[in-house]
Amino acid sequence: MSTPETSPGKSFVRLGNRRTARLDALPQHGIDVLRAALRGAVNDGWRIVTLFGTPESDSALRIVAIVADDERGQLGAATARVGERYPAIAAECPQAALFECEMAEQCGVVPEGHPSLRSLRRHAPDHRPAAWSPTSPPLDDTLPRTPFRGDEVHEVAVGPVHAGIIEPGHFRFQAHGEEVLSLDISLGYQHRGVESLLETLDGPRAVYVAESIVGDTVIAHANAYCGALEALSRCHKSARAQNIRGIALELERLANHVGDLGAMSGDVAYQPAAAYFGRLRGECLNMLMTISGNRYGRGLVRPGGVAFDITPEMADELRRRTTRLEAELRPVADLFFGAASVQSRLEGVGVVKHDACIEHGFVGPVARAAEVHRDVRHDHPYGVYRYAQIPVATAWAGDVYARALIRWVEIRRSLEFVAEQLATLPRGEVRVPCGAFAAGELVVAIEEGWRGEVVHAVLTDDHGKVRRHKVTDPSFRNWPALAMAMPGNQISDFPLCNKSFNLSYAGHDL
Amino acid sequence: MLDFLRTRLAQGSQTLDFPSDHVAFPERFRGRPVIRSGAAGVAELDLGACLFSPEEAAYDHQYGLASRTRAGLVMRGGTMNPATALDDQMRRLLGRSLRLRSVSAGSCNGCEGEMVALGNVVFDLARFGVQFVASPRHADGIVITGSVNDNMRDALERTYAAVSDPRIVIAVGACAASGGPFRDSAVAGRGVPPSIPVDLWIAGCPPHPLTILDGLLRLLGRIADGERRPPEAGV
């Protein structure tokens, strides 16, 4: 438990990654104070990690805001109590915009004066105070949002069912000739009610849901989910379990980054690299399968530690495979990054500016490619990352090339990390019991998944039951970045641009 | 150019000679659940609802988990009948090609990841004449992944309607068969609705690429034998 030291100002209680705070110690402001506090914090260089609502009584909603100061490695929490309508935070603080849309849809609350209020997932409110009027808030759900008018402006509609093996989503381009004027992205097609499930299920059934929030980010979500639960139950997992979780997280990053480089190769029609990267993605998945029995690491991470140990023979074998993987990856990356025809397709395409990343709170490789030093493993270290630091990889151009380069740098660093950790696994049990949750507490667990910051925030009620489980996937933060990157580019560069972000639909839609 | 040739040589040929190659999985791979019938009678296990987690059962390395019927996914007394081939007329119609449209409807993107992997040089789905195409109008059938949630039911039904008859429907993964991990959700659905008749069910969460490949090749009559010998343990 952290001491209720406040910063910045007296508006936020200081939290740590995976440290609990008592709910009654959280400042409960009026909405005007919370608005001013968030605006002030963001102006001081803090960013919003997550913002959500939970019914406080039959007639009131409690808004919970979690903010982070990445430079000092601090998290802060503050709350406000509101009725059915309140003045929107986004009117003064753009980072809050999407969170308030989400909150309006989930809780049936109306953020008045919100600049871009819209339905994100098209579902009935599932976290609405019981006595509130059952009519849904006036969310703008009319498609499409097309700002440009003129005889020569044409529209291209794509999805929800896509021309490949891709999750569903609807993209609406406005274009002049080949040049994209605007891109509007409508999601929500993958909505499965994940948060409600995590609040009602327990035991293994809830872990299966946590592992299925995003199918290619099984480890990061399971790590954050279990990290939150373990903090609430004061469970101290072993160093060995934490190292195995770290190894699995980096293998997951390797598989996806390698796969993304392959997909980008395919989209610029550079087939040799597409084929080689595509196969080597499988090698990374197979290493996860050796440890966990499943190519995506399902079954490995469990509350209290991990379900599978890495035996000494397995560690040796995995180290040999890591060495071989690196030897096989390097010449392929040299081919890819060395080909002038590849470079000319990647450079200057799909630029996301540094300032936009700061203003909107983008995370992961998208932000790091625009010189934003933001990496949970470095800024808010937890588990094995407290002892084994991985330097933050950044580039400056913010284009497709920079996002590809970030992945390649991170691939090499993850390979080094995995090899090192396999050689120095501490002794100990891999799993300890994880007991009942403390009552009336808040915990925030953040994890640097391969797409960026994965957030699980959990509130318990007076009986130690989960009252609210908030999930924020990095894709939720980063989809607007794709829409911002497209104007001025050619429509035909959209697939390439899209792959360089490779955002999750399921992670956004929950 | 020299670098390119050197890399090509170093990478070599990596394609699995399926189905004749002997497939070796790592020791912990979870294939088919192992069920032992007790004195109380014949034990049943629904592969369509199984998430293949370490908690649910013990598993062997048999990766064939496909059935032509939903009821066929229910293992009785530790065995299941593998999927049979399409009838002669349908196979004649298809010839040596099968064009599929992928519809992801309330999934986590895990099954889709393995379907993408089927296209890589190891599994090389295209050599069997199976391709994923960009329009339902170009397709002989659809592959459904996900629990068929509220927000995708309409789009799925319209895509199905856009494929001309006769059409094939393949349901991949636990979500499509039962709702998978989301089966308790009010909005996620419980898998492919009865309005869309399914020709092939493939279990798994997600199914290994070879599980999907095995199911597809059985449907096309390329693997005709019954139970195949279980692969040996190894890496």
CB nearest B109 (choices: A216, A295, A308): A216
Flag whether B211 is in a domain.
Answer: yes
CA angle A91, A95, A97 (to 5 degrees): 55
Q: Which residue ranges form the domains of chain A, and what is each CATH number?
A: 13-112 (no CATH), 153-186 (no CATH), 194-509 (1.10.645.10)
CB nearest B113 (choices: A126, A216, A279): A216
125-144 of A, contacting B, C-beta below 8 A: 126
pLDDT at A144: 58
B132 touches chain A (CB under 8 A): yes
Chain-chain contact of A298 with B109 (C-beta, under 8 angstroms): no
User: Looking at CA atoms only, how far is residue A68 from chain B in angstroms?
Assistant: 28
Q: Kind and range of the H or E element at A326?
A: helix A312-338
Give the pair of three-digit tokens for residue A419: 């090899």
Side chain identity, residue A367: A
pLDDT for A229-286, tens place per residue? 999 999 999 999 999 999 999 999 999 999 999 999 999 999 999 999 999 999 999 9
B115 touches chain A (CB under 8 A): yes
Look up the pTM and report it: 0.94
pLDDT for B79-113, tens place per residue? 888 899 999 999 999 999 999 999 999 999 999 99
Chain-chain contact of A212 with B108 (C-beta, under 8 angstroms): yes
SS (HEC) of chain B: CHHHHHHHHHHCCCCCCCCCCCCCECCCCCCCEECCCCCCCCCEEECCCCCCCCCCCEECCCCCCEECCCHHHEEECCECCCCCCCCHHHHHHHCCCEEEEEEECCCCCHHHHHHHHCCCCCCCHHHHCEEECCCHHHCCEEEEECCCCHHHHHHHHHHHHHCCCCCEEEEECHHHHHCHHHCCCCCCCCCCCCCCCCCEEECCCCCCHHHHHHHHHHHCCCCCCCCCCCCCECC
Flag whether B2 is in a domain.
Answer: no
Tell me if A421 sits within 8 A of A248, measured CB to CB: no
SS3 A168: coil
Reference A388, options A363, A427, A424; nearest CA is: A424
Flag whether B22 is in a domain.
Answer: yes
B147 touches chain A (CB under 8 A): yes
Please report which confidence band the pLDDT of residue A107 belongs to, taking 50, 70 and 90 as the band edges. very high
pLDDT at B21: 67
pLDDT for B112-160, tens place per residue? 999 999 999 999 999 999 999 999 999 999 999 999 999 999 999 999 9
A279 touches chain B (CB under 8 A): yes
B231 touches chain A (CB under 8 A): no
Flag whether B6 is in a domain.
Answer: no
User: Looking at CA atoms only, how far is residue B138 from chain A in angstroms?
Assistant: 11
Please report which confidence band the pLDDT of residue A426 belongs to, taking 50, 70 and 90 as the band edges. very high
Chain-chain contact of B109 with A215 (C-beta, under 8 angstroms): yes
B111 touches chain A (CB under 8 A): yes
153-172 of B, contacting A, C-beta below 8 A: 155-156, 159
B235 pLDDT more than 70: no
Query: Which of B108, B149, B216 is the mutation pick for testing A, counting most A CBs within 10 A?
Result: B108
Flag whether B36 is in a domain.
Answer: yes
pLDDT for A297-309, tens place per residue? 999 999 999 999 9
pLDDT for A182-192, tens place per residue? 999 999 999 99
Chain A CB contacts of B183 under 8 Å are none
pLDDT at B24: 86
Place of tokens 């007639």: A59
pLDDT for B156-183, tens place per residue? 999 999 999 999 999 999 999 999 999 9
Please report which confidence band the pLDDT of residue A8 belongs to, taking 50, 70 and 90 as the band edges. low
Q: Find the closest chain A residue to B119 by CA distance.
A: A278
Chain-chain contact of A193 with B208 (C-beta, under 8 angstroms): no
B234 pLDDT more than 70: no
Report how many Cβ contacts below 8 Å link chain A to chain B: 187
B11 touches chain A (CB under 8 A): yes
pLDDT for B10-55, tens place per residue? 878 888 888 876 788 999 999 999 876 665 666 788 999 999 999 9
Chain A CB contacts of B151 under 8 Å are 121-123, 188-191, 509
Which of A82-96, A315-329, A479-493, B221-235 is predicted least confidently? B221-235
Flag whether B86 is in a domain.
Answer: yes
- Return mean pLDDT, chain A: 92
Chain B CB contacts of A204 under 8 Å are 53, 55
Side chain identity, residue B22: H
Cα atoms in the Cβ-side hemisphere of radius 13 Å centred on B10? 17
A294 touches chain B (CB under 8 A): yes
351-370 of A, contacting B, C-beta below 8 A: none
pLDDT at A135: 72
Query: Which of A120, A221, A294 is the mutation pick for testing B, counting most B CBs within 10 A?
Result: A294
Chain-chain contact of B26 with A293 (C-beta, under 8 angstroms): yes
Please report which confidence band the pLDDT of residue A332 belongs to, taking 50, 70 and 90 as the band edges. very high
Reference A324, options A279, A272, A390, A273; nearest CA is: A279
B218 pLDDT more than 70: yes
Range list of β-strands (E), A10-46: 13-15, 20-22, 28-29
Q: Find the closest chain B residue to A160 by CA distance.
A: B155
Can you give the CATH number for the domain in which B67 is found? 3.40.50.12280
Query: Which of B109, B156, B158, B178 is the mutation pick for testing A, counting most A CBs within 10 A?
Result: B109
pLDDT for A435-485, tens place per residue? 899 999 999 999 999 999 999 999 999 999 999 999 999 999 999 999 999
CB nearest A191 (choices: B54, B132, B187): B187
pLDDT for A377-404, tens place per residue? 999 999 999 999 899 999 999 999 999 9
Chain A CB contacts of B57 under 8 Å are none
Chain B CB contacts of A294 under 8 Å are 30, 52
Flag whether B4 is in a domain.
Answer: no
Q: How many domains does chain B have?
A: 1
Name the percent of chain A lying above pLDDT 90: 85
A327 pLDDT more than 80: yes
A123 touches chain B (CB under 8 A): yes
For A338-349, what is the mean pLDDT?
93
Task: Give long-range contacts, CB 8 A cutoff, 24+ apart: A33-37.
Answer: A33/A80, A34/A63, A34/A65, A34/A78, A34/A79, A34/A80, A34/A89, A35/A87, A35/A89, A35/A92, A35/A93, A36/A11, A37/A9, A37/A11, A37/A12, A37/A78
Domain that holds residue B165: 14-225
Flag whether B44 is in a domain.
Answer: yes
A4 pLDDT more than 80: no
